Amino acid sequence: MNNNDQQLLRRYINIINEAVEAIEEKWGTPTQVSPEEKGKYHGKSKAELLSAYNKLKKSGPHHKGSPEYGRMRELAFAIRAKSDWGKVQDSV
C-alpha cells in the first residue's frame, strides 16, 4: 500500500468515525414532562388533534420559542403517538 492509499484510507476512516459519532449522539438534556402535562391529549382523537394543528398552522408562521410553536410541536408529537408507532389508543 503506497502513501496515497494510506492517506485515503485514513480519510475514509475519519469520515466513518464522524458519522458514527453523529448517529450515536444523544440529547443534550434529559426530557422531563411535568405531571400536569402528562395525558394532556388523552381524551382527544387523532382527527381532533390534526384539526387543532392545522388551525394553528394556518395562523402562522410561528417563531421558535413562541407559545404557538411549542403547542404545534406538542400536537405533532401527540399525533405521531396516536399513529402506529406510539401504540396509543385513539379516543373515539
Higher pLDDT, residue 20 or 51: 51
What is the count of structural domains for the chain? Answer: 1
CA–CA dist 81, 92 (Å, integer): 15
Q: Is 92 part of any domain?
A: no
Q: Which domain holds residue 54?
A: 3-86
Q: Is 71 part of any domain?
A: yes
pTM of the model: 0.57
Q: What is the pLDDT of residue 18?
A: 86
Q: Is 91 part of any domain?
A: no
Q: What is the pLDDT of residue 2?
A: 83
Q: Is 26 part of any domain?
A: yes
Q: Is 20 part of any domain?
A: yes
Q: Is 13 part of any domain?
A: yes
CA–CA dist 52, 22 (Å, integer): 34
Q: What is the pLDDT of residue 19?
A: 83
To which residue does cell 420559542 refer? 65
pLDDT tens track for 25-84: 666 666 677 788 788 888 888 899 999 999 998 997 888 888 898 888 888 888 888 887
Q: What is the pLDDT of residue 48?
A: 92
